[in-house]
A and B are shown apart, each in its own frame.
Chain A
Amino acid sequence: MSNKEIDLKEKIMERIKSGEIKMKPRWYFVFGSLASVAGLVSLLVVTIFLFNFAIFSLRTNGYMRGYKYNQIIASFPWWALVLAVLGVLLGVTLLKKYDFSYKKNFLTIVFGLITSLLVASLLIDFLGVNDVFVRKGMMKKMYKRYDGRCGAMMIKNEAGSKMRANTMRVLKDQFILEIS
């Protein structure tokens, strides 16, 4: 078969005329684009929230100064950090589908995305949004769990009750000794 022998016209037009293949409507593509943008924006919002949550936990625990190794393992919301990183990876994959991703320097786009996410997360924490979430809202319980200040109070309360129990024990022993 030489190059010129290829003749697909009949085959293709037959399928078009018979209605076997049809053009997809324009709204299908418009809806697809909107859904894709909405998906990307939602993903970025969730990622910002997760980064912000990790930053909040770090801040309330006095950044790394207040953390001990065991405490880091136990009370830092690693899941949020892992999900945030996955969010970034997914975001980068989705960005690759847009034309600008290969027309501009892709490394710059990725760096810009990560920087914007971190800056937005820090800004939210700086504006005190997290402190509102600790006091009220659906996420109050979760926030309290990873809030270093609540943790410190719990430790303080725990230490106080231990001290009280020890004092009581000593007084009790003295009382028994005096009676005997």
Chain B
Amino acid sequence: MHNLAQLSDEQLVEYIIKENQELFSEIVLRYQEKLFRYANFLSKDRDKAADIVQNSFIKAFINLKSFKTEMKFSTWIYRIVHNEAINEIKKNKKEIEIPEGLDIRGEGDMELDFDRQEMIKKVRSCLEEIPILYSEPLSLYFLEEKSYNEIADILRLSLGTVGTRINRAKIFMKKICQTKK
């Protein structure tokens, strides 16, 4: 019997597929809170978020044999949650629109001058007001601590687009947070 805590997600998945399906509970335990936070951010509704996460786990289990263990499991399951959440949002006809007067042209290097911790606090308070197109990569980067590569895989975007959207999201953040003050 393996010590589950020592197994990486990918090793655990292999073990679940080959030996014991019931160990999927360990995957659920490892990811349910993170995924719930992410789904809640996307759907802005806790009940819906719980449904999204539950459906995502079920889909992940059904399609577990399509997961390539050389990939990162977290990227794969975040992608499933992203798809589920976007379908849910579309179903509820919540439009992904840029608020008037907030559109940003140009992609210049606009680094913000506050440090990461301060940024996280501001991210949490302002994120909900930013169009989801930009806030999602920013949330994955700051709140879920995913790398640009992982975000690119989750959202199926090029690295350049991820960088651009995160930069734009920072500019939105600056505008919105400054207005709040």
Residues on A close to B: CB < 8 A? 1, 3-4, 6-9, 11-13, 15-17, 21-26, 28-29, 99, 102-106
Contact = CB atoms under 8 A, between A and B. Distances in A.
A103 B155 CA distance: 11
Interface residues of B, number: 30
B32 A16 contact: no
24 contacts: A3-B33, A3-B37, A3-B40, A6-B32, A6-B53, A8-B50, A8-B54, A8-B57, A9-B28, A9-B29, A12-B54, A12-B57, A12-B61, A13-B25, A16-B21, A21-B58, A21-B62, A23-B62, A24-B63, A24-B66, A26-B66, A29-B63, A102-B157, A104-B158
B65 A26 contact: yes
Contacts of A8: 28, 32, 50, 53-54, 57
B158 A102 contact: yes
A105 B29 CA distance: 38
A102 B152 contact: yes
A19 B71 CA distance: 28
- Interface of chain A, main secondary structure: helix
Given A15-B58, A103-B152, A7 B32 contact: yes
A11 B54 contact: yes
B158 A103 contact: yes
Q: Nearest 3 pairs between A and B by C-beta?
A: A29-B66, A26-B65, A6-B36
A23 B65 contact: yes
Contacts of A17: 22
A97 to B, nearest CB: 9
B61 A21 contact: yes
A24 B62 contact: yes
Given A16-B22, A102-B156, A25 B54 contact: no
B47 to A, nearest CB: 8
Contact of A12 (B17, B24, B65, B159): B24
Contacts of B157: 102
Contacts of B64: 23
A3 B36 contact: yes
Contacts of A25: 65
Given A8-B54, A21-B58, A16 B24 contact: yes
Contacts of A12: 24-25, 28, 54, 57-58, 61
A9 B58 contact: no
B61 A16 contact: yes
A72 to B, nearest CB: 41
Contact of B62 (A22, A99, A102, A104): A22
A1 B46 contact: yes
Interface string B103-139: 0000000000000000000000000000000000000
Contacts of A15: 58
A21 B62 CA distance: 7
B65 A24 contact: yes
Nearest to B153: A99
